[in-house]
Amino acid sequence: MLAGIIRFFLENKLVAYLLLLLFIGWGLATAPFDFGIAGLPRDPVAVDAIPDIGENQQIVFTQWPGRSPQNIEDQVTYPLTTALLGIPGVKSVRSNSMFGFSSISLIFNEEVEFYWSRSRILEKLNSLPANTLPPDVQPALGPDATALGQIYWYTLEGQDADGQTTGGWDPQELRSIQDFYVRYGLTAAAGVAEVASIGGFVKEYQIDVDPAAMKANNINLEQVMQAVRSSNIDIGAQTIEINLAEYFVRGLGYVKNIGDLEKSVIKTVNNVPIRVQDVAHVSLGPATRRGLLDKAGAEAVGGVVVARYGANPLEVIDNVKAKIAELEPGLPRKTLADGTVSQVKIVPFYDRTQLIHETIGTLEEALTLEILITIIVVILLLLNLQSSLLVAGTLPVAVLMCFIAMKYFGVDANIVALSGIAIAIGTMVAMGIVLIESMVQRLKEAPPEESLFTSIFEATTEVASAVITAVATTVISFLPVFTMEAAEGKLFRPLAYTKTFALLSAIFVAVVLIPPLAHTLFSFTNRKKKRPYLANGLAVVGGILIASLVQWIPGLVLAVVGLTGLLKEALTAYASGRQVVYADGLINIGYALVVAWLLAGVWMPLGVTQSQFSNFLFVVIIAGTLLTFFYLVIYFY
């Protein structure tokens, strides 16, 4: 079967090339890093810095202001806890009673779906028996997010046109702006589960009653509370018709200022109304608070953005930033006493974007280093540039295929998951090297009458089964990792998934793509006459254009390959015997030195404080020492 697959794609190279283009385009669309390719649709795999190892939990939060923890425990927490114990899939219930509120965490089994558990909790809360909880106590379900959902923290600060902090805004003003403008705007961003306000003072009407005046007028506290409640309401009635026009009848009673509350009637004695102002003092003041937000030693006002469960954190942060840019022009401004114009700005002080980008950069750097090191090793051990470029060029394809599998298997790209790809890169490269070395050796030893197709096919089938067996052994060795549960499973299963995806992708690339590509490449390089000169000349011209218009590194590499190719063809034409062998060896060493220079620029093993030439010498010494050792082993073996 394996030989049949290899032969099919060797005979139908167009199918292999179409698959190659399909996986490259699909992989670029799902890759966590945006390559900025115009016209390419983006559906990236979810990206976060670290895996979410939190338990599968939901939180029921209940407020009962002013009540002691003991009252909360007896009348709210205990009845709710016992009622919620019977929900299907609940593993444990953890409750906490504090001053004025109750918090109950329901831990579900890992296999329970997140939103299914929320619907079961709401179903239970809506079907509680009468008088289970005190009157006016309403439990609420927490946001649909996990403990790792806090992705963006910010403060509201007054700044001038140059971005310097000016102040001029008191905590109550900033909190009102946050509660009634910023919070609602950011909640509308796609993927946001909640925007919680922190710090400042919540503005409220405060009524300080006078016990002596209440006693003199024979009024109790309940009557005052009822009068305040009744004063802040609109009354709707029927309609009346006047001159063939219909009018709505309404009683307008919403409180708009302190005077409206002060004039609220508590009761009437002998046709004399007793108002709230007769027995109490009404004022505006801050609500009681039990915490604050501190920034650099000063009190601040801000909020925290929580991402929805299953959302892509990096995408959510981008949506929040876009919404902030939309909201900021509408934030209020004022002119201070010194003439400075102070406008409220949204200033972030925790943004997970940088951490996520560093996580992605870890894999990007590892891939770059692995590709460059692979090129050096294959050039110097096989003395064949085409082979090294073929191995290094197919490695990113396997990684892109791994991203496709991660997207549709629901594996997020985080530091642990991406490390699985980085760990598997060595094995992925080894598969290509084994195949290419077998092909090169077969081409050297093949009889003159043997066709290139037969040489490639026989060289591939000779080692393909052994390579697949070796990789399958690695895949099977990771099976115990898939059986891990709880936090350990959430931490290490992504690594096992990505490593397995990477190895299976490498098998596909090795069996399906490398043989047709190698056949095309070797058939092209084996042609004589003017085609090699034309190809190398085009490589030089194309490299110069790419270096000047797009990016200098790939352009430089392409131009150097073309120049050395022309040099090699000229030496082959006018020299013979050992001269060609020595010239070919020197050319390949030159290739390796060029790649080593690029490797030193990316890696900088001695640090960025040292010059690139010093780092280049270090890379040459290290690589030369190791490769010399391997040459000695090969020679004496």
pLDDT of 76-97, one tens digit each?
Answer: 999 999 999 889 999 999 999 9
Mean pLDDT score, 380-397: 80
Whole-number pLDDT of residue 485: 81
| Residues 435 and 513 reside in one and the same domain | yes
| Residues 242 and 140 reside in one and the same domain | no
- Axis crossing angle, helix 415-445 with helix 514-525, rounded to the nearest 10: 40
Mean pLDDT score, 395-424: 89
Whole-number pLDDT of residue 71: 93
Structural domains counted in the chain: 3
529 has pLDDT over 50 = no
21 has pLDDT over 50 = yes
| Residues 257 and 125 reside in one and the same domain | no
3-state secondary structure of 257: coil
Task: Decide which of 241, 268, 286 is a domain's last residue.
Answer: 286
Question: What is the per-residue DSSP string for 456-519?
Answer: HHHHHHHHHHHHHHHHHHHHHHTHHHHT--HHHHHHHHHHHHHHHHHHHHHHHIIIIIHHHHHH
186 has pLDDT over 90 = yes
| Residues 485 and 417 reside in one and the same domain | yes
Whole-number pLDDT of residue 141: 93
Give the type of residue at 210: D
Whole-number pLDDT of residue 371: 80
Pick the range with the lowest mean pLDDT from 141-145, 223-227, 334-338, 582-586: 582-586
67 has pLDDT over 70 = yes
| Residues 442 and 589 reside in one and the same domain | yes
Domain holding 80, by residue range, is 55-144
385 has pLDDT over 80 = no
Domain membership of residue 530 (yes or no) is: yes
| Residues 270 and 385 reside in one and the same domain | no
Rounded to an integer, what distance in angstroms lies between the CA atom of residue 355 and that of residue 465?
42
**What's the token pair of residue 224?**
């005052």
| Residues 61 and 96 reside in one and the same domain | yes
Domain membership of residue 182 (yes or no) is: no
| Residues 35 and 75 reside in one and the same domain | no
For residue 83, the domain's CATH number is 3.30.70.1430
Q: Express each pLDDT in 244-271 by its tens digit.
A: 899 999 888 888 899 999 999 999 998 8
| Residues 499 and 607 reside in one and the same domain | yes
Whole-number pLDDT of residue 25: 92
115 has pLDDT over 70 = yes
Question: What is the per-residue DSSP string for 291-354?
Answer: --EEETTEEE-EEEEEEPTT--HHHHHHHHHHHHHHHGGGS-EEE-TTS-EEEEEEEEEEETHH
Task: Decide which of 246, 263, 286 is a domain's last residue.
Answer: 286
Q: Is 120 exposed, middle or buried (0-12, 13-18, 19+ CB in 10 A)?
A: buried
| Residues 490 and 416 reside in one and the same domain | yes
Q: Express each pLDDT in 300-316 by its tens digit.
A: 999 999 999 988 898 99
| Residues 437 and 571 reside in one and the same domain | yes
Candidate ranges 329-338, 361-370, 568-577; pick with highest mean pLDDT: 329-338
Whole-number pLDDT of residue 581: 63
Give the type of residue at 8: F
Rounded to an integer, what distance in angstroms lies between the CA atom of residue 170 and that of residue 151?
27
pLDDT category at 201 given cuts 50, 70, 90 is very high
189 or 483: whose pLDDT is higher?
189
Mean pLDDT score, 473-495: 86
Mean pLDDT score, 343-371: 87
180 has pLDDT over 90 = yes
Domain membership of residue 309 (yes or no) is: no
Please check whether residue 301 is in contact with residue 178, taking contact to mean a CB–CB distance below 8 angstroms. yes
**What's the token pair of residue 360?**
């992605």
Q: Express each pLDDT in 147-161 by its tens digit.
A: 888 999 999 999 888
Mean per-residue pLDDT of the chain: 87
For residue 547, the domain's CATH number is 1.20.1640.10
Q: Express each pLDDT in 610-635 by its tens digit.
A: 998 999 999 999 999 998 998 899 88
Please check whether residue 295 is in contact with residue 200, taking contact to mean a CB–CB distance below 8 angstroms. no
Name, in order, each residue with C-beta under 8 angstroms of 342's C-beta and a sequence gap of 6 or more: 158, 159, 160, 166, 167, 168, 169, 333, 334, 335, 336
Rounded to an integer, what distance in angstroms lies between the CA atom of residue 406 and that of residue 410?
6
Angle among Cα 89, 94, 99 to the nearest 5 degrees reads 140
Whole-number pLDDT of residue 76: 93
Task: Decide which of 122, 144, 166 is a domain's last residue.
Answer: 144
Mean pLDDT score, 204-217: 92
Whole-number pLDDT of residue 437: 86
For residue 272, the domain's CATH number is 3.30.2090.10
pLDDT category at 525 given cuts 50, 70, 90 is low
Please check whether residue 356 is in contact with residue 48, taking contact to mean a CB–CB distance below 8 angstroms. yes
Whole-number pLDDT of residue 49: 84
Give the type of residue at 414: N
| Residues 462 and 372 reside in one and the same domain | yes
